Amino acid sequence: MKILVVDDEPPARQRLLNLLARLQPDSMVREASNGVEALKAVSDDAPDVVLMDIRMPAMDGLEAATHLAALPAPPAVIFTTAYDAHALAAFEAQAIDYLLKPIRRERLQTALERVPRLEQNSVSKLQAMCGDVRSYLSTHLHGELHLIPVNEIRYLCAEDKYVSVGFPDNEYPVEDSLQALEAEFPEHFLRVHRNALVAHAFISGLEKGPSGKPHIRLAGVPRTIAVSRRLLPAIRRQLKALAQGHPPLKQAST
* pLDDT tens profile 134-175: 899 999 888 788 999 999 999 999 998 899 999 998 999 999
Summarize the confidence of residues 72-99 as an average pLDDT.
Answer: 74
Query: What strands lie across the sheet with 225-226, from one edge to the other?
Result: 203-208, 214-218, 225-226
> In this model, does residue 253 exceed pLDDT 60?
no
Q: What does the pLDDT read at residue 72?
A: 84
Cβ atoms 225, 196 nearer than 8 A:
yes
> In this model, does residue 224 exceed pLDDT 80?
yes
Global confidence as pTM: 0.81
Q: Comparing C-alpha atoms, which of 120, 117, 150, 152 is closest to residue 136?
A: 150
Thinking of the domain 136-243, which architecture would CATH place it in?
A: Beta Barrel (2.40)
Going from N- to C-terminal start, the domains of the chain cover 2-129, 136-243
* pLDDT tens profile 194-221: 999 999 889 988 998 778 889 999 999 9
CA angle 144, 150, 152 (to 5 degrees): 95
The CATH superfamily label for domain 2-129 reads Response regulator (3.40.50.2300)
Same topology between domain 2-129 and domain 136-243: no
